[in-house]
Amino acid sequence: MDLIRTSDGRWYLLEVNPRPTASMELWEPPGDGPSLVELHIRVFLNGGLPTAEELPRSKLVRGKLVVYSRGLNGRVPKDFTETLLQDSRRSGEANIADIPAAGTRVEPDQPLITVMLSGPDRDDLLLALRAMEREMLRTFVERLEKVR
């Protein structure tokens, strides 16, 4: 289900999807509990889900941040994608997705890239995501190809 929360705190149902949503990876535990697919199958085979007490608690919090281009206007630099992938492999922490191809037009305030991290502490995770966002934007600005 996709929901939206208004500024006054009310929730509205937008749609019900028969497919996994874009935030599915935040809910799918990496090896620390039954997968959502496993639980889904269990409903049909056993007629029910385990209780909350029966499910193992994850020791990790997961976060996902979509980095927006802010006020930037230009084209994705030739080496931007490779630089991000190298940095990600080196750090071994982040999963990076939705990487735009070199030469792709980037307009102000559009989604640029998605970063996913996990860790034991929520506040540290949020700080790490914001630090990655700043670094990605800095890297992008340094290499930005101006639109002619």
Per-position DSSP letters for 48-76, written without gaps between them:
SPPPGGGSPPPS-EEEEEEEE-TT--EE-
Query: Is residue 70 included in any domain, yes or no?
Result: yes
pLDDT tens per residue across span 4-35: 889 999 998 888 766 666 666 655 655 566 67
Query: Is residue 73 included in any domain, yes or no?
Result: yes
Q: Count how many domains the chain has.
A: 2
User: What is the model's pTM?
Assistant: 0.64
Query: Is residue 148 included in any domain, yes or no?
Result: no
Query: Is residue 42 included in any domain, yes or no?
Result: yes
**What stretch of H or E contains 2?**
strand 2-5
126 and 102 assigned to the same domain:
yes
69 and 40 assigned to the same domain:
no
Of 19, 37, 54, the residue at which a domain comes to its end is 54
110 and 91 assigned to the same domain:
yes
Report the pLDDT value the prediction gives residue 93, as an integer from 0 to 100: 62
pLDDT tens per residue across span 24-79: 665 565 556 667 777 777 777 877 777 777 776 777 788 888 999 888 888 888 77
Query: Is residue 21 included in any domain, yes or no?
Result: yes
Query: Is residue 88 included in any domain, yes or no?
Result: yes
80 and 49 assigned to the same domain:
no
> Average pLDDT, stretch 108-117?
88
122 and 69 assigned to the same domain:
yes
Range of the domain at 10: 2-54
Phi, psi (rounded to 5 degrees) for 112: -110, -45
66 and 48 assigned to the same domain:
no
Report the pLDDT value the prediction gives residue 145, as an integer from 0 to 100: 64
pLDDT tens per residue across span 137-146: 887 887 776 6
CATH number, residue 134: 3.90.1170
E-strand ranges in 76-127 read 95-97, 105-106, 111-119
Q: How confident is the model at residue 98 (pLDDT cuts 50, 70, 90)?
A: confident
Of 22, 39, 54, the residue at which a domain comes to its end is 54
